[in-house]
Structure formats: C-alpha cells, structure tokens
Chain A
Amino acid sequence: MSVSRVELWSGRALLVALMAFTILPFISIFTTALHPSGTVPSGLEWPAEPQWSNFVEAFKVANMTTLLASSAFIVLAVVPVSLVISTMAGFAIGLLRIRGANVLLFLFVFGLTLPFPGIIIPIYFLERAIGIYNTRLAIVLPLIALYMPFAVFWMRAHFVNMPSEISEAARVDGATTWGLFWRIHVPLARAPLASLGILMSIWTWNQFLLALVLVEDPTQRTMAGALGAFQGHYATDIPLLCAGTILILLPTLVLFVLFQRQIITALLQGSIKG
C-alpha cells in the first residue's frame, strides 16, 4: 500500500487526539465525582481520598430506584405498543395492495420533518384537557405517536422489499390477512424489529423535552428528564452532580458496550432510511 510514513503517523495522531477529545469529558466527571461533596475541584485531578460514598449518596438523593422503575415502565409501555402498531401499518402500506397507500406514506413521512418543540404547546393543552397531564401516560402516548413517522417508514421499507411469492404461497394455502401478517411476515421481520426496538428504547430513555413540559413530578419521568431536575437541585454541589450524572449514564453505557454492533448499525440504518 502506497501510504507514506508521514501520512500514516499524522493520521494516527489525529485519531488519537480526537479519541482523547471524546473520552476526556467522561474521565473528568469521574474524577470530579470522587472529590468530597460540596468542594470545587479542578477539571482533572485525582482526589487525595476518593469518596466512593458519593455514588451511594447520589443514588439516594436522586431516588434512583424509583427513577429506574419509572423509566423502565415508560420504555416498556412505549416500545412494544409502537412496534406492534407501526409494523401493522408498515405491513399494510408496504405489502397489501391498498388504495391510498401513497397518501398514507406521505402523511407519515411528513412527520419526520416536525421538530418536537414545534408541536409541544398543543400537546400540553390537549393533555390537560383529557386529564393525563403529570402522569406517565403524558409521556407515553405522545412518544408512541411521535415515533410513528419513523417506525412506519422503517417497517414499510422492510415489507416493500419482501418477494411477493411468499404472500402468494400463503394465500394459496388459505391464510387470512391476519394469519399472513402474524404467522408469516412478523417472524420474517425479526431483524428490522429488533433494530427498531433498540432505537426506540434509547430515544425513550433519553427523552427530555416531553418529560420536562408534561410531567412536573421528577419521579414520574424518564431518566433524562429526571437528570434535568437533579441538575436543578444540585447545580452547586459539583461532585454530587457528577456522581448522579454517571449513575444515570451507566445503564445506557453498559447497554452500548454489550450491544455495540447492533446499536451502531441500528442508529446508522435508522438515519439512512429516514
């Protein structure tokens, strides 16, 4: 390969520098989290006596057990429902010969361009009117709806590429449309369903704006929403804030390390298809 030594080493140096740029912030909050609560250490400084108890303290004051339960509840309510209804819609638009399929597709794709802050105000008043404001449903229902453009588009992209012979063979065997969907096509769609599930779980866990506007009680929020509230209370106690942030990051980071390949692939495919 005709890559010169200069290029080889300058290229590697650039990569190492950028990796340091990415990773140093994490190291900085980690060392800061180990300083005595209430002090103001400098950015990168190993403490004389590491205060591991800060994590225990943050776990208690951030109400971590409640938070984990609340976030898990929201993810478990949002993701399965979104998967089922978006797969049904994607199946109908992509695979069945229905009139108006193009209009439906356009209607959903249009939603991809809508920024959350653009429609948050009516959602707030709507939820006050129907009485779900300040409950977990206040986050769950709009999130399911906001995922529909992407999720329907994603599943349709899968179904539209399925060879029609599969459906025809099933029809000849007398399968109903529901049977065709549930017994034949859903099992074949496991890969795109898994990616979509991973994506929507991460997005839900990290959702902030909806939690901030629609739920006042931090213990009913998502992880990210609770982190915002935690910052409000402990902005002046930097070591404790860093410890809390690490605790809230930990579940996502662990998941990322475990399912790194799937998550990267899912996020990339997600943006390419979107």
Chain B
Amino acid sequence: MPLVSSWRINPGKVIRRETLIGWIFVLPALLMYAVFVLVPFLLTFVYSFYRWTGVGAATWVGLKNYVTVFEVPDLLGTIINAFWLVVFFSFIPVGLGLVVASVIHRVATGRLGAVARTILFLPQVIPLVAAGIIWGWLLALPGLINQILRAIGLGAITRAWLGDFDWALPAVGLIGIWVLLGFCTVLLLTGMTKVDAALYESARIDGAGWFREFISITVPLLRYEIGVCLTVTVIAALAAFDIVYVSTAGGPGNATAVPGIQIYILAFTQRQIGLASALAVMLMILVVVVIVPIQWLTREVKQ
C-alpha cells in the first residue's frame, strides 16, 4: 500500500498536526502570560503617554512625562542611585565572591568549606523583607554595628546609618552584599570545580601563588559563571524594591530612592499614574540595555 505509507510519513502533514496539538499544549501558559505580563507590559507604555490620576479621564500628554523624569532631579536621581546600587549589589559580591570561592577551592576543601558554603548561602533563602528588617535594627543607633565600632574605639563615627544623608545608600548596599555574597560564592565555586583539576595541579607544580592562579586560570575560565552572577545581581540592583522599602523607604530625603520605590510612591500614594509609568518604561529599557552587553560579553563559546 504505497499510497497509505507515503501519506503516513508525509512530514508536512505530521508537522501541521503536531503544530496544532503543540499550540494547544502551550495555550494555558501563553494565556496567563499574555493577560498578566504581556498586556501590562504594553499598557505601561500606553499609560506613560497620559496624565492620569487612576480615576476619571486621562489626558494625552505625549512625551511630557519622559521630559519630566529627565528634568526633575529627584526622579533622575533614582536612576543614578540605581547605578550606585549596582556597585554594592553586583560588583562587590561578584568580586569578593570570586576571591572567597578561590580561597575555599584552595585551602578549605574539607569540612570548613562545606560549612562556609551553607552559612554564606543562608541569606539567599530568607525573604528580602526580613533582611531589610534585620539590618534596619543592626544599623540603628543602638544596633550591633555601632556597638562593634565603639568596642574597637571608633565610637566617634557611630551614627544612625540608614538615616544619614551620606551613608544611607552605602548602608543599603551593605544589606545587598550580605544577601548576595553567598549566592555568588557558591555559584562561582561550582564553576571552579568543573574546571579541569589538572590545570590547577600543574599551575601549583609550577609554583603559581594564589594571585597568579586567580588571574590566569580562575577568572578567564569562569567567564560564563561570572556573567550569570553579574546578570542576576545587576537585575537585583536596578529593580531593587523590598530591601529599600523596608529599611529606608527611599529616605532620608531621596538619598536611597531607586526607580522601584519611586514608581510605587508615584503610582500608589501620589496617584501620578502617567509619570510613574514613564519611569517604569525607563527602568525596563535600562535593564535590557545593561543586561544585553553582559550576556554578549560573557556568553559561552559553543564548540
């Protein structure tokens, strides 16, 4: 029966059938995603062209909301603050994480290394809100940080860190370091264990010290893992909300206001939906603009 068999293996027909069934399989996920993510994504753009209080009629204002974001220092300042947070949430945890991971890899392969891994990872599983509350107390005037400073004779510099105009942003950054250091360390360590051990062995036989090994083997071969760490932590910094909301709510003044916080305040307490949406659009574009080069620079070279 040549006719029937050629019908049965007709690839076009099979693919058409599988396409139909396949799309039915995708449909529930796609529908949820479209209604609660894609539509809101597009609506954010639409809202950003209007002046609207959330009730009643909206007025078309074109690009005026975007101009406002650039002209009002407090709004543009949130984006500058977000970049400062990148230093604390991203550069320091990734840099320090590389050092710590290579230290564990070299001198603490046994029990100490395993315990360090677990403990450093701990802040990653608790809610960021809890991290914010805990550090809100540690950084307060009677808190642990000032207690330690007094104990080592630095009583003169104690202050309410989160209420200080100059120190609030670095203090929030410290919370980010605490949360993200363990994540970066453990991720980079996993990458290191995948690197051929013979490479490290021969480096050591050649008498390479920690620094030499770090620069010539660890950093170049972990390019992909470093890229992942950077991507995750940069998004955590630019889109930061929970930690800042709980520890400072953007204050004092606007010292720690980041886009996430400002969007929340503009939209849900000041009812400036259009302006909030313009800032939201800029935040989303900012994330893409920063993430794409990181992905491109650190992508794994396919063999």
Please say whether chains A and B are actual partners in one complex. yes
Binding site for B on A (CB under 8 A): 1-3, 7-8, 11-12, 14-15, 18-19, 21-26, 28-29, 32, 40-44, 84-86, 88-89, 91-93, 96-101, 104, 107-108, 111, 113-126, 141-142, 144-146, 148-149, 151-152, 177, 181, 202, 205-206, 208-209, 212-213, 223-225, 227-228, 231, 238, 241-242, 245, 248-249, 252-253, 255-256, 260, 263-264, 267-268, 271-272, 274
For the complex with contacts A23-B122, A268-B187, 16 further pairs of A-B residues with Cβ separation under 8 Å are A15-B100, A22-B119, A93-B26, A98-B15, A98-B19, A113-B284, A115-B239, A117-B260, A119-B40, A121-B263, A124-B267, A144-B36, A208-B129, A238-B137, A242-B137, A272-B228
B287 within 8 A of A: yes
Minimum Cβ distance to chain A for residue B56 (Å): 13
Give the distance in Å from the alpha carbon of A274 to the alpha carbon of B295 in the complex.
11
Q: CB-CB < 8 A to B178: which residues of A?
A: 21-22, 25
A119 touches B280 (CB 8 A): yes
Q: Contacts A115-B238, A231-B133; is A98 near B44 (CB within 8 Å)?
A: no
The reply to whether B268 and A213 form a contact with Cβ atoms under 8 Å apart is yes
Residue in A28, A84, A108 whose beta carbon sits within 8 Å of that of B33 in the complex: A108
Known: A15-B104, A92-B26, A264-B186. A118 touches B119 (CB 8 A): no
The docked-state distance in angstroms from the alpha carbon of A231 to that of B108 is 40
User: With an 8 A cutoff between CB atoms, is B250 at the interface?
Assistant: no
CA distance A12 to B119 in the complex (A): 15
Within 8 Å of chain A (Cβ to Cβ): is B67?
no
- Contact: B126 with A249, CB < 8 Å? yes
In the complex, the chain B residue whose C-beta lies closest to that of A99 is B19
CB atoms of B25 and A115 under 8 A apart: no
Q: B103 contacts which chain A residues (CB < 8 A)?
A: 11, 14-15
Asked if B222 is an interface residue, CB under 8 A from chain A, the answer is: no
Within residues 72 to 124 of chain B, which ones have a CB less than 8 A from any CB in chain A?
99-100, 103-104, 106-108, 112-113, 115-124
Taking A15-B108, A22-B123 as contacts, is the C-beta distance between A249 and B130 under 8 angstroms? yes
Q: Is B207 an interface residue (CB 8 A)?
A: yes
Q: Kindly provide the distance from the CB of B286 to the nearest chain A CB, expressed in whole angstroms.
A: 9
B154 within 8 A of A: no
Hey, which bits of chain B sit against chain A, CB under 8 A? 14-16, 18-19, 21-23, 25-26, 28-30, 32-33, 35-41, 43-44, 47, 54, 99-100, 103-104, 106-108, 112-113, 115-130, 133-135, 137-138, 142-148, 178, 181-183, 186-187, 190, 204-205, 207, 209-210, 225, 228, 231-232, 235, 238-239, 241-242, 245-246, 259-260, 263-264, 267-268, 273, 276-277, 280-281, 283-284, 287-288, 291
How long is the Cα–Cα vector from A114 to B45 in the complex, in angstroms?
A: 13
Most chain B beta-carbon contacts within 10 A, residue among A114, A116, A205:
A114
Bound CA span A260–B122, Å: 9
Residue of A19, A86, A241, A248 with most partner-chain B CB within 10 A: A19
Q: Is B33 in contact with A245, judged by CB distance below 8 angstroms?
A: no
- Residue among A208, A260, A263 facing the most chain B CB atoms (10 A cut-off): A208
